[in-house]
Amino acid sequence: MRINQHPILTFDRGREINFTFNGQPMKGYEGETIAAALHAAGVKVLAKSPEKHRPRGFYCAIGNCASCQMTVDGEPNVRTCITLLREGMKVETQEGKGRIE
Amino acid sequence: MKEVELLIIGSGPAGLCAAVSAAESGAKVLVLERGFRPGGQLIKQTHMFFGSESQYASHRGVDIAGILLKKVEEYGDRIEIMLNSTAVGFYEDNVVTVLKDEKEYFKIKAQSVICATGAFEKSLAFPNNDLPGIYGAGAVQTLMNVYGIRPGNRVLMVGAGNIGVIVSYQLIQAGIEVVAVLDAAPRIGAYLVHASKLARMGVPILTSHTVKEAIGTDCLEAAIVCEVDDKFRPIPGTEKRYDVDVMCISVGLSPLNELLAMRGAEMKYVGQLSGQVPMRTESCETSIPGIFVAGDASGIEEASSAMAEGYLAGLCAAAKLGHVPADFEQRRLDYLSQLDNLRSGPVGERIRAGMKISQL
The reported pLDDT for the residue numbered B45 is: 86
Residues 6+ apart with CB under 8 A from B312: B21, B283, B284, B294, B332, B335, B336, B339
The reported pLDDT for the residue numbered B43 is: 84
A55 min Cα distance to partner chain B (Å): 6
User: Residue B97 — very low, low, confident or very high, per pLDDT cuts 50/70/90?
Assistant: very high
Burial class (CB in 10 A: 0-12, 13-18, 19+), A10: exposed
The reported pLDDT for the residue numbered A10 is: 85
The angle at the Cα of B274, spanning B40 to B234, to the nearest 5 degrees, equals 115
The reported pLDDT for the residue numbered A24 is: 97
Whole-angstrom CA distances from B178 to A77, B171, B190, B248, B250 are: 33, 7, 17, 10, 14
Helices B61-74 and B13-25 cross at an angle (nearest 10°) of: 30
Contact (CB<8Å) B148/A84: no
Q: Are domains B2-119+253-357 and B123-249 of this chain identical in fold?
A: yes
Question: Is the minimum CB–CB distance between B148 and chain A shorter than 8 Å?
Answer: yes
Helix, strand, or coil here: A71?
strand
The neighbour count for residue A13, using CB atoms within 10 Å, is 14
B135 min Cα distance to partner chain A (Å): 5
The separation between CA B291 and the C-alpha centre of its own chain, rounded to angstroms, equals: 20
Contact (CB<8Å) B256/A64: yes
**Chain A with chain B: Cβ pairs closer than 8 A:** 96
Mean pLDDT in residue range B209-213 = 97
Helix, strand, or coil here: A74?
coil
Contact (CB<8Å) A11/B175: no
Give B-chain residues touching A6 at CB under 8 angstroms.
148, 173-174
- What are the domain boundaries of chain B? 2-119+253-357, 123-249
The reported pLDDT for the residue numbered A92 is: 97
pLDDT, tens only, B150-185: 999 999 999 999 999 999 999 999 999 999 999 999
Residues B44 and B63: their CA atoms lie apart, in Å, by: 10
Give B-chain residues touching A82 at CB under 8 angstroms.
34-36
Give B-chain residues touching A8 at CB under 8 angstroms.
46, 60, 173
The reported pLDDT for the residue numbered B195 is: 94
B240 min Cα distance to partner chain A (Å): 25
Q: Which of B44, B124, B131, B142 to mutate to test the interface with A (most CBs of A within 10 A)?
A: B142
Whole-angstrom CA distances from B316 to B12, B32, B227 are: 19, 19, 49
pLDDT above 80: residue B51: no
Under CATH, which number does the domain B123-249 receive? Answer: 3.50.50.60
User: Residue B59 — very low, low, confident or very high, per pLDDT cuts 50/70/90?
Assistant: confident
The reported pLDDT for the residue numbered B271 is: 96
Point out the residue among A6, A9, A55 whose CB comes nearest to the CB of B131. A55
CATH class belonging to B2-119+253-357: alpha beta
pLDDT above 80: residue B53: no
Residues B240 and B224: their CA atoms lie apart, in Å, by: 6
Is the complex ipTM higher than 0.90? yes
Contact (CB<8Å) A62/B139: yes
Residues 6+ apart with CB under 8 A from A44: A38, A57, B132, B133, B218, B219
8 Å CB contact between B206 and B182: yes
Give B-chain residues touching A56 at CB under 8 angstroms.
130, 132
Contact (CB<8Å) A40/B147: yes
Which amino acid is located at A92 in the chain? E
Give the A window 77-96 contacts with B, CB below 8 Å. Answer: 81-82, 84
User: Residue B46 — very low, low, confident or very high, per pLDDT cuts 50/70/90?
Assistant: confident
Pairing of strands A47-48, A55-56: antiparallel
Helix, strand, or coil here: B67?
helix
8 Å CB contact between B98 and B83: no
User: Residue B346 — very low, low, confident or very high, per pLDDT cuts 50/70/90?
Assistant: confident
B47 min Cα distance to partner chain A (Å): 9
Share of chain B above pLDDT 90, in %: 89
Residues A98 and A95: their CA atoms lie apart, in Å, by: 6
Low-confidence ranges of chain A (pLDDT < 70): 101
Burial of B157-196, coded b for 16+ CB within 10 Å and e otherwise, reads bbbbbbbbbbbbbbbbbbebebbbbbbbbeebbbeeebbe
B311 min Cα distance to partner chain A (Å): 24
Residues B36 and B23: their CA atoms lie apart, in Å, by: 23
8 Å CB contact between B322 and B352: no
Question: Is the minimum CB–CB distance between A41 and chain B shorter than 8 Å?
Answer: no
Question: Is the minimum CB–CB distance between A6 and chain B shorter than 8 Å?
Answer: yes
The reported pLDDT for the residue numbered A4 is: 85
CATH class belonging to A16-94: alpha beta
